Amino acid sequence: MLTFLILFTAVVSFMTRPAGADMRLFKGQTVYVPLYSHIYSGDRELPFYLAATLSIRNTDMKHAITLTAVDYYDSEGKFLKHYLDKTLSLNAMATKRYVVPESDKSGGSGAKFIVKWQSDQPVAEPLIESVMISTKTQQGISFTSRGRVLETLSK
């Protein structure tokens, strides 16, 4: 009975911890975000072109973050375009989007963004993802891809 009581107490204390107790805070990151300007279908690998949106969401409820780079690269890793000409402050809970139109095929099926952001104080990690969508006749497709952190600035 004592073992059960100890185990029960441990489980209850774990389950009643405050929300965000394990939340990691950061002062900046470099994030790799896959983006698909087209995918392939069928035995002949026919390209299906997609419109793509890069979405950067500041999830911190109190503090702004600063975007310092939003750079677009093709399938071969070749730099294509700066989407950010100067730093951009993103208020708490704000979102910024960048669109790669369906007609832009320069990135290829292995396109990607490199997003760099920073903050003066440790903040909640932003949600950075790409959303791809297209419709052709009666066929439609949409999917998302999340960013992957390459570098983190220390607290």
pLDDT 10s digits, 14-33 = 455 555 556 789 999 999 99
pLDDT for 40 beyond 60: yes
* Residue 9 included in any domain: no
Number of independent structural domains in the chain: 1
**What are the strands, taking DSSP E only, across 4-154?**
25-34, 38-41, 46-49, 51-57, 65-73, 79-82, 88-90, 95-100, 112-124, 127-136, 139-146, 148-152
For the chain, give the percent of residues with pLDDT over 70: 85
* Residue 11 included in any domain: no
* Residue 107 included in any domain: yes
Tell me the residue range of the domain where 110 lies: 40-152
pLDDT on residue 140: 87
* Residue 53 included in any domain: yes
pLDDT digits (tens, 9 = 90+) for 56-111: 999 999 999 999 999 999 999 999 999 999 999 999 999 999 999 999 999 999 99
Q: How far apart are CA 87 and CA 60, in angstroms?
A: 18
Question: What residue spans of the chain are helical by DSSP H?
Answer: 2-15
Q: pTM of the full predicted structure?
A: 0.83
* Residue 14 included in any domain: no
* Residue 21 included in any domain: no
* Residue 7 included in any domain: no
* Residue 65 included in any domain: yes
